[in-house]
A and B are shown apart, each in its own frame.
Chain A
């Protein structure tokens, strides 16, 4: 109720329906206006880049981690617990950690100085509030690798190693076993988990707000800036932008549901 109602109200306001400032007529001005702004398209481009880069990199890393954590080694229980530790940690804390680690006077820059690679903080590459959103992507990778990895690990454990052993006894190499046996088995859960990650990275606000540049900023930050602008006339545009994000996420849910349904049928 709250959710659907909120979205409908946002929709009405994106059409310029704002009785508080005396506007009760409906128009498409806000939607037309955002699609004509270069800043909107630049923000969209940046947001898509953040979403895709963090999803692809954390998915690949997560598979590698899960395959490694599945094997037997000393301290396996403790390491697996540590791996899950990231999941409930709030993103804000991750962002603060990345800031203290990656900034030009951060811990990494100090280590680079110790190693004799740089002499001055300014020589360290800008990894936070930077053009390519490296700090933002790093935070998502840090958190979402553990998320996808935990799900893949659970899938691997429920599938067992019988299929791989059978393939091995038929003479499959390590790579062939991974490519033709393990990967198809974990693919459904990998896909659904990474769709969730993409939808989150596409719409999240806190991380680009803390670790991003002011211009161009992520779509959510742009929407927030228009919403809190002293010029109330910008509010319909803010609503239109949030709804655009919501629309993309909705597409992602449909994809998620179709995929997970297929997974159940198999």
Chain B
């Protein structure tokens, strides 16, 4: 009996997690699916075919999304690495304040910030451009990357670097052979989640991109509000694919602390 309730509970969890994906998966292959049919009366790949045709603008959105998220996560790491190092290794006055300022953008909704920046971006000619969108995506990704890397550096011993240098390693060699190997799990997790945070942004892209910069979430929103369930469902599946791939790769590096800040929102 006890065993039975345990397995029933586990089954409920699995069902609960998968529930929203079930109609998405079915709709992406449905042709005729009117109420009250529980399964489609006719199947087709129209949704997929249309999604991949140039009429849906998916190729353009996919390319721009990949470019924006790729550059955003790369920039977050390049800036976040020295910042995280300083935060993780050194004690300095006002460190609590800096930590507070780093946490703030992970919780304060980014659109409040973006509305304020918008005017300046218009004047600088950054509004409606991809560069502007990448810059505004850094607002939520950068603090996250910095905090994860600061956590990695808290357990990092700088003396290894000094040892390498005294044995004749150049600064670049020290970074390549000493620094990077010891923090790469953090780098992978931080980079991947920066990618996903940027990948999922809707309102920031819409606001700063002004509709000129088309990313996958914008395309998904427009199909979702037009009510074309087949294409919406197919696009949803394409949209979550990188999240699943990244989770599989990063699962072994994930810890509770990392997870607490990494939310695809």
Contacts and interface: CB of A to CB of B under 8 A. Distances in A.
B: interface residue count bin: 35 or more
Nearest to B109: A203
Interface string B183-220: 00000000001001001101100000000000001001
B169 interface: no
Nearest to A141: B16
Interface string A3-22: 11111111111000010100
B139 A3 contact: yes
Nearest to B264: A88
A100 B247 CA distance: 25
B111 interface: yes
Given A71-B6, A85-B247, A253 B236 contact: no
Contacts of B108: 3, 7, 203, 245-246, 249-250, 253
A44 interface: no
A200 B13 contact: no
A121 B34 CA distance: 11
Interface stretch (A25-33, A48-56, A103-111, A163-171): A103-111
Interface stretch (A34-42, A126-134, A175-183, A204-212): A204-212
B59 interface: no
Contact of B24 (A4, A8, A93): A93
B1 interface: no
Contacts of A249: 104, 107-109
Contacts of B23: 97, 100-101, 106-107
Interface of B: 6-7, 9-10, 13-14, 16-24, 26-27, 35-38, 96, 99-101, 103-105, 107-109, 111-117, 119-120, 122, 135-136, 138-139, 143, 193, 196, 199-200, 202-203, 217, 220-221, 224-225, 229, 232-233, 236, 239-240, 243-244, 246-247, 251, 254-256, 259-260, 262-265
Nearest to A9: B116
Contacts of B256: 150-151, 153-155, 158, 189
B254 to A, nearest CB: 7
A220 interface: yes
Prevailing SS type, chain A contact patch: helix
Contacts of A151: 256, 259-260
Contacts, number: 249
Nearest to A158: B256
Given A84-B251, A154-B259, A253-B100, A93 B36 contact: no
In this complex, the member of A8, A82, A242 whose beta carbon has the largest number of chain B beta carbons within 10 angstroms is: A242
A100 B233 contact: yes
A87 B203 contact: no
Interface string A135-170: 000000010011100110111001000000000000
Contacts of B143: 3
Given A6-B116, A97-B21, A97-B24, A90 B200 contact: yes
A88 B247 contact: yes
Contacts of A253: 100, 103-104, 107-108
A9 B119 contact: yes
B240 A93 contact: yes
A68 B243 contact: no
Question: Which 9 A-B pairs rank lowest in CB-CB distance, beginning with the nearest?
Answer: A97-B20, A154-B256, A10-B116, A6-B113, A203-B109, A9-B116, A242-B112, A100-B23, A90-B200
B122 to A, nearest CB: 8
A99 B21 CA distance: 11
A250 B240 contact: no
A160 B131 CA distance: 48
Interface string A181-199: 0000000010011001001
Contacts of A223: 111-112, 115
A3 B20 contact: no
B28 to A, nearest CB: 10
A69 interface: yes
Nearest to A239: B115
